[in-house]
Structure 1
Amino acid sequence: MSGEQMEQTMMFKVRGEDVSSVREIMQTVYLALKQKGYNPINQLVGYLLSGDPAYITSHNNARSLIRRLERDEIMEELLKNYLEK
């Protein structure tokens, strides 16, 4: 890569589930984790950092649901909501 190419900002575009689906899935996963007695925030952070679905309970199909989303989709939605509110 030339020096000029290295200084350009890369564009990153997330594709996949729409925002309402991401929100619904995350709420379902959050509630399932809470119902099983886990700390949902800690479990979700563990999943987002590692990609290991074992952090997410299979209760109420939560593990299957969250695997429908790409981790970058989840992080984009979380960051967007955090910064816009």
Structure 2
Amino acid sequence: MPKPNNTQFFKVQKDTEVVVSEVIQTVYSALTEKGYNPVNQIVGYVMSGDPTYITSHKGARSLIMKVERDEIIEELLRFFIDHKISQKSTR
């Protein structure tokens, strides 16, 4: 039994850090495996916020809800700029 004069400690466990690009890859793979058009489904989710656009296969729905929709857009835009626009300017 703890003594009333001692301070109790409580430590909250942090969730493991979610990497947005890995979330997108996992969700894309799960949607493809289930026969969905992954681009249409991800766009539907990002635009509406409705998680039912994403299959629960492989935990994709739970996973995508761990990141903010604006983070998904930011990651996709960053990838596009880095791989399409930046490469054109270096040619």
Report the RMSD for the aligned CA atoms in angstroms: 1.1
- SS of residue in 2 equivalent to 1:68: coil
Q: How many residues matched?
A: 67
Greater share of helix: 1
| Structure 1 residue 84: Cα displacement | 1.4
- Runs in 1 of length 4+ with deviation above 6 angstroms? none
Flag the structure with more relative contact order, 1 or 2, with Cα contacts below 8 A and sequence separation at least 6: 1
User: Could you report, residue by residue, the CA deviation over 1:21-59 in whole angstroms, capped at 9, with x for unpaired residues?
Assistant: 111111000000000000000000000100000000000
TM-score (norm 2): 0.71
Distance 1:49 1:42 in 2: 10
- Where structure 2 has 5 or more consecutive residues not aligned to the other structure, the ranges are 1-16, 84-91
Task: Give the aligned partner of residue 81 of structure 1.
Answer: 79
**Aligned with residue 72 of structure 1, among 48, 55, 70:** 70
- SS of residue in 2 equivalent to 1:69: coil
Task: Give the aligned partner of residue 5 of structure 1.
Answer: none
Q: What fraction of aligned residue pairs are identical, expressed as a percent?
A: 63
**Aligned with residue 56 of structure 1, among 27, 49, 54:** 54
Distance 1:74 1:53 in 2: 14
TM-score (norm 1): 0.75
